[in-house]
């Protein structure tokens, strides 16, 4: 492993942890650390931004190839599926959900999970039709 790759991993890990801790400090009202959390999150984001020059130095710019629409569609389907699943999870987990909230949450969460699971077969079908 190259020294630069290890530096990218270390910066990514530390920056991600500091950023996540800062956001947690902002989002938990019992801690009363919103302003400090914003500063910590910004510090974590700055650490994450320090990866960019290290990455650019060690990974030369590549030529742009033709857009792979199968990958683009797979990303879109994955994002939509995870958002639907997250909506269902939030309906079930937030506060004291009523029976209807629980049923709606379970239904939409299952539909979102099904979309995410079917993402790869859809990608494979698109890829096979392009060849």
Retrieve residue 77's tokens: 């389907």
Q: What distance, in Å, lies between the first and last C-alpha atoms of the chain? A: 36
7/109 Cα distance (integer angstroms): 38
pLDDT at 131: 61
What are the E-state strand segments in 6-90? none
* C-beta of residue 115 within 8 angstroms of C-beta of residue 73: no
Q: Are 44 and 19 in contact (CB under 8 A)?
A: yes
List per-residue pLDDT tens for the chain, 131 residues long. 677 688 899 999 999 999 999 999 998 888 899 999 999 999 999 999 999 998 888 877 777 788 888 889 999 999 999 999 999 999 888 888 889 999 999 999 999 999 999 998 998 888 888 76
Look at residue 105 in the predicted model and tell me its pLDDT: 93
**Which pTM does this prediction carry?**
0.56
Q: Taking the CB of residue 14, how many other CB atoms lie within 10 A of it?
A: 14
Q: Which two tokens stand for residue 60?
A: 């030369």
């Amino acid at each position: 492993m190259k020294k630069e790759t290890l530096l990218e991993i270390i910066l990514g890990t530390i920056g991600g942890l500091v950023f996540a801790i800062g956001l947690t400090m902002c989002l938990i009202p019992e801690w009363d650390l919103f302003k400090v959390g914003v500063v910590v999150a910004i510090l974590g984001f700055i650490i994450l931004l320090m990866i960019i020059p290290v990455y650019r130095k060690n990974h030369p710019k590549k030529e742009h190839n033709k857009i792979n629409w199968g990958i683009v569609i797979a990303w879109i389907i994955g994002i939509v599926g995870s958002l639907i699943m997250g909506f269902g999870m939030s309906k079930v987990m937030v506060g004291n959900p009523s029976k209807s909230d629980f049923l709606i949450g379970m239904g939409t969460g299952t539909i979102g999970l099904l979309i995410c699971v079917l993402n790869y077969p859809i990608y494979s079908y698109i890829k096979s039709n392009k060849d």
